Structure formats: structure tokens, C-alpha cells
Amino acid sequence: MPQSLKDAAVYSQRWLEIIQKTEVTEAEGKKIIEESKQNFAEHFNKNWLEYRKSVTEAGDWASVEWSGSGAVFRDVLGREYLDCLGGYGMMDHGWSHPDVVAAVKAQLGRSPMPSQELIDPLRGVLARLMAEITPGDIKYSFFAASGTEAVEGAIKLAKMYTQKPAFIVAVKAFHGKTMGSLSMIGKADYRQPAGILYGGPVYHVPFGDAAAVEKQLDICDKIGVGVAAVLMEPIQGEAGALVPPDDFWPRIRAATKQYGTLLIADEVQTGLGRTGKLWGVEHWNVVPDIMAVAKSLGGGVMPVSAFCSTEEIWQCMMYPNPFIHTTTTGGGALACSAAIASINVILRDDYPKQAAEKGAYFILKLQELVKKYPQIYREITGRGLLIGQHFLTPEIGYKVAAGLFKRGVLVAGTLTSAHTIRIEPPIVITYEQIDTVLDRLEDTLKEVAKTI
């Protein structure tokens, strides 16, 4: 055996022993920190470390996460942080929700992955649950692992059903970074480096501008370009928790029906209670033709996503070729067990109501801070527990994020900018924890105000 393979066997064994530990000493923790920095720099992405300066500048490298429960996580040295990022919407249930973990552990002891040839029951159970909780006549679902896979499936389904090439999407939209989803994104930061993307026409319009969608549909109709679907987030998440005008979704629903175009709701971040409704589109009583779901579907324990649609539209997924869209690992038994438990907890504990009430409380307090610190804030946006703090400059936003982390609160910008800092905590966050976050935020704002 080559020496490199021998080294790999020894290294993996050492880490298996670390994984089995329930606790690590301070010395072991510091060694893990240094090793993690080295591994990320040399084998994953060196600039990943540079980008997280707001974390690293908080003192010792404090972002080597190790464990967590509820809205609190701990780093490898045992320091505690309040999570107001929630894995960008993945951690609605908080860290290591016991009911979701228990379901996955039970399934793990039975059968981790299906044969892909026989019928695995949990996939059917989850598909039925999705039919029961999604709006309108949505009945069928396909399962994958990530949000971008769900969007890829949604746009593929729209093309197969309509036999039309074009899509209408929003400026500043975020739908994922695989090539089809990337083609729909409304930000140059991600699109330009990859060069030529999806071959069909993709038209970008301002988010929330129903008239622009209607006009683009009319233009496409006049020039003979078939539009497969209009794809939108109910509330733009990565753009900074931007809520559209109340007439936006009803109007684009009516327009898509008028022109024989499908309407796709990207509920990857907004779905399953995050915005104060089970689905983001329910704020406007709109039923889409296709939905993309992910993030908190796995309860913060397993990666699982879905795209869902009606029986009529799903015919092209079933006939003549039932294998027209497949994935070897998507919808595995562990993922489905997590999703089944996730849905059960969401419904049992009424996550939409919790998010609506806690979000209203949070936003009210943040708006008071906007009035108090006009030299720092521009505005607060959002719905439920998907909240955007918009600052006058990215530099100010960065100082706020860094200051909060120094005080044990994790927030983050919108991937490429600190102009907007999201507050997106687990829905299980308590009011006492919210008040603690607000106290630490105001302490940070006082410090930042002295520097501008």
C-alpha cells in the first residue's frame, strides 16, 4: 500500500476516535482549531477563512463549531453562542432537535439507504405527507438533498410539461448554484464567473414588480417565445428578506394562467413556517403549480429537498419513462425519516404561529433601534423570523456582525455583502433569548456609533 494511503488510514482512524468522544479537553480543542484552519486553507477553500473575518476577528478562532441544542451552539472550546443565522433557514428546529435525531437514529439501526429497486416505505410516507401539507392540488413529490437540486427539478419539470424554453425570474433572486439554478439567479457575482449558462431565454425583472412580469409575458407572447414558468421566491431571502407588495403574487398568478405559463414558488428558505405561514405564498392565498422545498425539511439533522406538483403536471415524470428524473441517494431512508419527524414537529408545535409571533416581537424591537440609531440603519424588512437589517453602508453592517459575534451572537450578511445582515434564528428560540440578542445588539450599536 502506498504511504499516502497508509497515512490516510491512520488519519481517518484518529478522527473516528475523536468523533466518538463526548467531550474534548482544552488542549484537544485547540489542536482541532489549528488543524481545521490548516485543512480548510489547504484542502477546501482558503478564502472561506478570509471571508469570515467578522468571526475570526472576534479574538481566538471561535468558529470551529462542535455541538448545539435549541438556539445555542458551542464551539470546540465549549464557548456558547446564540444562533441568529439558523443555517440560512436550515435550522428552524434548532440544533439537534431530539425528536428528529431519535427518528434518524431508529432508522439508522434498521436500514440507512434503500436498494433503489424495491419499494422503500418512508419515501412513500413522506410523499403523502407533502401532498397533505402543500397548498391546492399539489400531489406528487420527488426527493433530493439540496435546494438547488429541488430548483433544478422544478425547472426541468416545467420545461417537460409545457415544452416551452423560457423563464421569467427576479433581479437579486437566489435559487442555487448548479448550472440550471444558477441561470435563474439575479446576481452577477455568481453568474459571470461561470460564463454561458442555460441555453434557453431567461428574463430578469425587478422583484415585486407585477407589471414587469405581466409586460414580459406579453412581449414573449407577441414575439412567439414560449415561457415555461415564472420562478420566484415568495420573499427574497438571500437578497435581504425583501417582502413584495401585496398585489404581486395574486397578479403574477393571474398573468401566468392567462398566458399558459406555470408558476414556480421557490420555498426553499420561506417554506415550513419560517415566515409565519406554513408556506410563504400563503401570505397572499396563492397556489403555485410547482414548489421547491428544502433546508428545514430535514429538521436540521439530514439534508433533504423536494420539488412538488399536481397530478396533471407530474404525468411527464411518470410516462412513458418513470426514470426520467432520478438520483441514487436522494430520498434515502435516513433523509425521509428526518423529514417525517420534521413535519410532525412543525405541525405539532405550530411553527408558523411561533414564527409569526416571535418575528413580530423581534421586528418591533428592531424598528425601535432604527429610530434610535439613524446613523447606522436604513430599514428593517422581513416577515416572521426571516428578517433583514439594512445598514447605511456594508462597512457598518460588517462592524455590527463582528461586534455581535464578539458578544456571542451569530448573524451573517447576504453571502457577498454586509450591507444587509440577516436575523434568521431557529423558530424554537425563546423570548428570553431574543431579549438577550437585542441587549447585545444595542451594546454593539453603541460601540459602532462611536466609530462613525
Yes or no: say if 407 and 444 are a contact pair by the CB < 8 Å rule: yes
- Please name the amino acid found at residue 54: S
Give the whole-angstrom CA distance, residue 197 versus residue 92: 33
pLDDT, tens digit, 9 for 90 and up, residues 83-111: 999 999 999 999 999 999 999 999 999 99
Q: Is the pLDDT of residue 342 over 70?
A: yes
- Please name the amino acid found at residue 92: D
Give the pLDDT of residue 64. 83
Q: Tell me the pLDDT band of 418, cut-offs 50, 70 and 90.
A: confident
pLDDT, tens digit, 9 for 90 and up, residues 186-239: 988 888 888 777 778 999 999 999 999 999 999 999 999 999 999 999 999 999
Yes or no: say if 148 and 175 are a contact pair by the CB < 8 Å rule: yes
Q: Does domain 24-84+351-449 have CATH number 3.40.470.10?
A: no
Question: Within 13 Å, how many C-alpha atoms sit on residue 345's CB side?
Answer: 25
Give the whole-angstrom CA distance, residue 102 versus residue 113: 17
Per the listing, cell 448545539 goes with 68
- Please name the amino acid found at residue 91: M
E strand residue ranges, 347-426: 377-383, 386-391, 409-410, 420-423
- Please name the amino acid found at residue 94: G
Give the whole-angstrom CA distance, residue 264 versus residue 310: 12
Give the pLDDT of residue 52. 66
Give the pLDDT of residue 50. 72
Q: Tell me the pLDDT band of 49, cut-offs 50, 70 and 90.
A: confident
pLDDT, tens digit, 9 for 90 and up, residues 264-312: 999 999 999 999 999 999 999 999 999 999 999 999 999 999 999 999 9
- Chain-centre distance of CA 277, in angstroms? 16
Which DSSP string do the residues of 278-301 spell out, in sequence order?
SSGGGGGT---SEEEE-GGGGTTT
- The SS3 call for residue 320 is coil
Give the pLDDT of residue 63. 66
| Nine-digit cell string for 226 | 414560449
Task: Parse the chain into domains and list their residue ranges.
Answer: 24-84+351-449, 99-348
Average pLDDT of the chain to the nearest whole number = 94
| 265 CB-near residues (< 8 Å, 6+ apart) | 232, 233, 234, 279, 280, 281, 286, 288, 290, 291, 292
pLDDT, tens digit, 9 for 90 and up, residues 169-193: 999 999 999 999 999 999 888 888 8
Write the burial class of residue 355 (CB in 10 Å: 0-12 exposed, 13-18 middle, 19+ buried): buried
Residue 265: phi and psi, rounded to 5, are -105, 120
Q: Is the pLDDT of residue 333 over 60?
A: yes
Yes or no: say if 171 and 162 are a contact pair by the CB < 8 Å rule: no
Give the pLDDT of residue 60. 54
Mean pLDDT for the stretch of residues 326-337: 94
Q: End-to-end CA distance of the chain, in Å?
A: 61
Mean pLDDT for the stretch of residues 242-250: 98
Give the whole-angstrom CA distance, residue 291 versus residue 141: 9
Q: Which of 233, 228, 189, 237 is nearest to 208 (CA)?
A: 233
Give the whole-angstrom CA distance, residue 194 versus residue 214: 30
Which DSSP string do the residues of 127-174 spell out, in sequence order?
HHHHHHHSSTTEEEEEEESSHHHHHHHHHHHHHHHH---EEEEETT--
Q: Is the pLDDT of residue 416 over 70?
A: no
CATH class of the domain comprising 99-348: alpha beta
Give the whole-angstrom CA distance, residue 444 versus residue 287: 42
